[in-house]
Structure 1
């Protein structure tokens, strides 16, 4: 049974005592001086200290291990890889208590949401265990030449560098590792130094599931740029997959050009949430709550800009604000908490700056809007109304529990405002007029659109954006294809 908050100190101490505390190379945790403090954002206190690896030296050790095992792993049967991933999926559920508790401590999300991430993250391992045996190819006679045939089949891309963010510290690892292993690629994982513990527990799971030494490696280091640059300068590396900010993604793409690396980039978002005149208020408010405040608002898919048709703006705003007011801000380990802390003080400062900018330009604060006193990195759930178009919240990714409401007179105004951004990851559309919804969905510039729901992420669906929100897709059949190269053979 899942743990029930509040969690007693003995449970926490037991978990910390069993926690891996160093990078994972060639099947082993390598040890080292524990000089990286991992803190709980709800308290500001240290959870545990772990070893920050030398980026260049340990990074090359990890790549050496991945390259040394690449040919053998690629030669394994898809069924063998499938069974290992399936066993890893089962272990995730067997160890769900440890994973969820770790995520809440190191990242801050409420414990119930952490369990949700365990389920979500494990599902990538199950999905790609099934996809591993479904890699397709083609065979047909050459259309214009007798006695010759066209054969097309897939091969693993090769050793891959996977860089994951802090906001979903477990599932972003499984979302990248799952398809890489299914395709027959070896990997080096670099988790965020703010939240490395979930990734280290994942290494234990993969090892215990039967992943051979060297196939999966994990380097924890504070020297992020040195680490990525070192590996990407090595011609043996054949792919990079990165989830994070657009500025960092641009830098990595530039570095990837040297050896023309296969690149997958899941970058920033600035998701619009369109409330059409035909929207069902209750369903729309429920979708907006999930889209805005899930994961403490710290998601690239979070509803950043809420555009509401003027004819229903008053009703929606009142109902939405009432629901937001019912959120309980606190430590994610405490019973009843529905909104946790932000990751660090910089995140809190940015939320306050965005709110101050909006109010200085004429927005009204309906709820929240001021930094919470006390320990931890807390910012209250905030609702802004009458937000002007030139406010920073319309341009920048918020990554926090701030909900700006912008009133629009027409659907055309909504769509124009929604598309007025360099981002194009996620959009939300709420309405009961199916013809109008279909029209809006077709005109929205984003890789994903959620209609009348607040959460759209699904391992069976292709996740990714357009414009400066990235390239490539994760999940679904497309996620496996990101780790495969096509080979064409002319048979005579």
Structure 2
């Protein structure tokens, strides 16, 4: 317990505005809970609308100098931030586990992933390329350049408290934009702990501001109605995304939205089953299944269903559940009681409609928001878990007979974030990939997230892209100059 407390002793818990730690203007605070123990581990300042406006003031003051920096200067700061995060990787990983619940190996992976967004965008900062051409009819020169859009409001979720923020901060800073970040109330500590690291890396005061708040709607809404805000980048549920889009419409704030998912995982009869199982464990169990990219609906060809289901059950049974800080644990608790209760509801609904539980399905006794790794077969089409994000360690399996049937059922959702498929036939793999209405495809891979790739979805799963070159473009405005000489 001593190391646990020592870990938290140095974590800031106030608002980070203009390069300074501040109390909330009304002195209100809220508790952060360790989901493994249900213990209160910190009390964090809860920002008000006045605090949000103060953060915008700080960002506005910092914007001209930051935008005017040479791209290489911004790049070197981002590269330094990458190095410092990796230096402090173990401390940050343990902090993620304490406030989010995920097992320590998973948290270590997140820290490395989060840091990579600074390294990648350090390289992107110097590649804000324009173009020049001759207008065919007038002969005038067409000069195109990309300018920093302005202040960006970033709203991040609890499931990846480091990576979902750095995926936004990195490209924004590379583009020359200052940011105001509102982290999720369940997991604010990781981002607060990152601020001294960014300061050490050379990020000027006011360029990055962090304002945790229990009054999220009021605080974010006030910022979106401030004319100085030009970009809003949000990761979270489609329901909340729709609300923010309506708010952003009043001032025509540029939106970047990474929203919900309902990922299918297709296993064809010619698939390498062992490889598919390994991919399924990553696609389903990363962060206990609490990810928008998590495989939600497993469609397995009827010829290989039984062997796939048995091997997946064996793998799920091998997972050790417990406090993510303990050695050997690879399945921690869900983030809160509401999240666990939702998983319980979805499983009970499926079972009541005829689904069969191969393993798991029962909440363990004791403290903590734990739910076991669960495999369910014979899931009926009217089960709620086929149409809603499970956001937990539950794999629901159905069978299919033909390629066309698999494609049709995979596409039968309002979401379009990511899909996975396994087949040894690369022709089939590419053919099916092109017919799937999803922004990302994992072809014989259970992991698609990569800082160098454009992350994002179709349909109700969002607008815009994060990562790759496209990520920085979300924080830039295109300007065209017509000139003759």
Aligned to 2:427: 435
The answer to whether 1:88 aligns with 2:84 is: no
Counterpart CA distance in 2 for 1:370 and 1:415 is 32
Aligned to 1:354: 346
In structure 2, stretches of 5+ residues that fail to align are: none
TM-superposed deviation, 1:207: 1.1
What is the CA deviation profile of residues 397-455 of structure 1, one whole-angstrom value per residue up to 9, with x for unaligned ones?
00000100011121211111111100000100001012211111111110000011111
TM-superposed deviation, 1:173: 0.9
Q: Secondary structure at the match of 2:114?
A: helix
TM-superposed deviation, 1:298: 0.4
Q: Secondary structure at the match of 1:406?
A: strand
Aligned to 2:199: 207
The answer to whether 1:118 aligns with 2:101 is: no
Counterpart CA distance in 1 for 2:275 and 2:442 is 13
Aligned to 2:372: 380
TM-score, normalised relative to structure 1: 0.97
Counterpart CA distance in 2 for 1:131 and 1:438 is 29
Q: Secondary structure at the match of 1:82?
A: helix
Q: Secondary structure at the match of 2:187?
A: coil
Counterpart CA distance in 1 for 2:9 and 2:338 is 30
> Which of 33, 37, 58 is 1:43 aligned to?
37
Q: Secondary structure at the match of 1:161?
A: strand
Aligned to 2:61: 68
Counterpart CA distance in 2 for 1:67 and 1:372 is 50
CA contact (8 A) 1:309 1:411 kept: no
Counterpart CA distance in 2 for 1:301 and 1:290 is 10
Aligned to 2:223: 231
Aligned to 2:440: 448
> Which of 437, 458, 465 is 2:450 aligned to?
458
1:290-309 to 2 correspondences below 5 Å: 290-309=282-301
Stretches of 4+ moved more than 6 A in 1?
Answer: none
CA contact (8 A) 1:270 1:425 kept: yes
The answer to whether 1:131 aligns with 2:113 is: no
TM-score, normalised relative to structure 2: 0.98
Counterpart CA distance in 2 for 1:483 and 1:53 is 25
> Which of 136, 140, 151 is 2:133 aligned to?
140
Deviates more, 1:404-413 or 1:33-42: 33-42
The answer to whether 1:262 aligns with 2:257 is: no
The answer to whether 1:250 aligns with 2:209 is: no
Counterpart CA distance in 2 for 1:145 and 1:220 is 53
Counterpart CA distance in 2 for 1:491 and 1:411 is 55
TM-superposed deviation, 1:10: 2.9
Q: Secondary structure at the match of 2:357?
A: strand
Aligned to 1:11: 3
Q: Secondary structure at the match of 1:238?
A: strand
Counterpart CA distance in 2 for 1:127 and 1:34 is 37
Q: Secondary structure at the match of 1:162?
A: strand
CA contact (8 A) 2:47 2:219 kept: no
RMSD: 1.0
CA contact (8 A) 1:21 1:34 kept: no
TM-superposed deviation, 1:15: 2.1
Counterpart CA distance in 2 for 1:333 and 1:350 is 25
TM-superposed deviation, 1:34: 6.6
Q: Secondary structure at the match of 1:257?
A: helix
